[in-house]
Chains A and B, each alone.
Chain A
Amino acid sequence: MTFTIPIDNGDSVKNAEADSQRTLYPYVTGTSIVAIKYKDGVLMASDMGGSYGSTLRYKNIERMKAIGKHSLLGASGEISDFQEILRYLDELVLNDNMWDDGNSLGPKEVHNYLTRVMYNRRNKFNPLWNTLVLGGVKNGESYLGMVSMIGVSFEDNHVATGFGNHLARPILRDEWHADLSFEDGVKLLEKCMRVLLYRDRSAINKLQIAKITEEGVTVSQPYSLNTFWEFKAFHNPTAGAEGSW
């Protein structure tokens, strides 16, 4: 995907900044988010890594944030764009609170607002380079949806971004069912995150799990998964090919 058509910010002869104002490539990126609906609400997992190309540069980035009283937003992709989105949502929630009238933005409203933002940016060839996961609970109803950088938006019982789509979703398709308990939900997410840890090179072994229920949002402290590397094939890996690198 290339975004090389210039915005009409005047011609590049007179206005040298014209082209540099559009997002062309992502720089610091977060990898997958995996999320599922469970009995009391929604569970979401992400690692805390921010990659700078192939370097695992930042290891303490929180890629999941609470939005208002009823929603939780997780983002993969460009971290600075995620921060920009958080600023937009901050303003949105602020204005909603200022009404002070008993009405509040639920996850459905936030999801649709984000869809409009992402799609409109895409139409201007200046996307926010993220795939967002929006989960929440309001009035007893759980909600889980996703929006991509080109504005594709949908809801489902389980979602994943980036590599998670390829590695986590098959697991979820087989093993997710309605009314998972909290423990089972976390086990399922950890299973997905472990696979991602083994196979996604931009994943790091420091993850958080966030839960949102009618009571609100809790994001766990960072922790790491146990991994197993004692496969026989890993012992003496160069046997049979000495001298090669």
Chain B
Amino acid sequence: MFRNQYDTDVTTWSPTGRLFQVEYAMEAVKQGSAAIGLRSSSHVVLACVNKAQSELSSHQKKIFKVDDHIGVAIAGLTADGRVLSRYMRSESINHSFTYESPLPVGRLVVHLADKAQVCTQRSWKRPYGVGLLVGGLDESGAHLYYNCPSGNYFEYQAFAIGSRSQAAKTYLERRFESFADSSREDLIKDAILAVRETLQGETLKSSLCTVSVLGVGEPFHFLDQEAIQKMIDTFEKVPEEEEGDAEVAAPAEQGGGADGLGDQDVAPMEM
């Protein structure tokens, strides 16, 4: 996908039926740092890699609570993500106020997708440059959705977005069939292991990742660093038989906050 004469406007089709601006917006999602989501029949776990601008700064917030029963993890232009999170919170709270009942997550993602679609069909707008992993509960149980800048949304058992998400996806693909019946603890463990896949060699520490959980009888909340580190300790000490790759004793030359190869020129807004 390179510069061509059909990519100036989001309202210009290419001769092959593509909207390049929308596809470029999806590229922005791929540049952001990884976000991972998985669900069982009763719980949803959202996890992300904490990326900081520099060693001096704090990391960006990529997971947001939308309501007690809905959370969202973003990848791409975090500013766009923040705005959409605010929209989701607003929709959720308005529904709660009128109906005294939680907004079903399936309906929220449709509202979100319709909002994104509008930006693909107005010449004076641009698509949102953020992918959202929306996890939530409704009458039929726990759900995980992915909303993309194109205005499409899909439901997943498990998914990963952002840079080096393919490594996490490969891990999840091997394991997803067991997720539906997973216990809460196993689900969290799988999420952290998936995060580790995206770090590719860097030592997994609780400071590098953020994990959130929601489920039946458990409102959305973040796991604190201690709990995450404890979970990491349960598998980092034992050499992996199943995973094969991912070294525990990787040399620490990569340093803290390093993105690894190929990411040095990522734009500052794409975290």
Contact = CB atoms under 8 A, between A and B. Distances in A.
Interface stretch (A78-86, A96-104, A121-129, A190-198): A96-104
Contact of A113 (B98, B110, B138): B98
Interface in B126-156: 138-140
Nearest to A109: B99
A112 B98 contact: yes
Contacts of A116: 97-98
A108 interface: yes
A183 B140 CA distance: 35
B139 A108 contact: no
Contacts of B140: 102-103
B147 to A, nearest CB: 16
B107 interface: yes
A103 B143 CA distance: 13
A103 B104 contact: yes
Question: B interface, how many residues as a size bin?
Answer: 10 to 19
B106 interface: yes
Interface string B96-110: 011111001011001
Contacts of A26: none
A112 B138 CA distance: 19
B106 A103 contact: yes
Given A102-B139, A103-B138, A108 B107 contact: no
Contacts of A102: 106, 138-140
A101 B100 contact: no
Given A102-B139, A103-B138, A103-B139, A109 B106 contact: no
Contacts of A113: 98-99
Contact of B107 (A99, A106, A109, A112): A99
B148 to A, nearest CB: 20
Nearest to A102: B140
A231 B97 CA distance: 54
Contacts of B104: 101, 103
A85 B120 CA distance: 38
Interface in B105-124: 106-107, 110
A106 B59 CA distance: 42
A103 B107 contact: yes
Interface in A169-207: none
Contact of A109 (B100, B110, B138): B100
Nearest to A101: B106
A93 interface: no
Interface in B61-94: none
Contact of B101 (A99, A101, A108): A108
Interface string A13-25: 0000000000000
8 contacts: A102-B138, A103-B107, A106-B101, A109-B99, A109-B100, A112-B99, A112-B101, A116-B98
Interface of B: 97-101, 104, 106-107, 110, 138-140
Given A103-B107, A103-B140, 9 more contacts: A99-B110, A101-B106, A101-B107, A102-B139, A105-B99, A106-B101, A109-B101, A112-B100, A116-B98
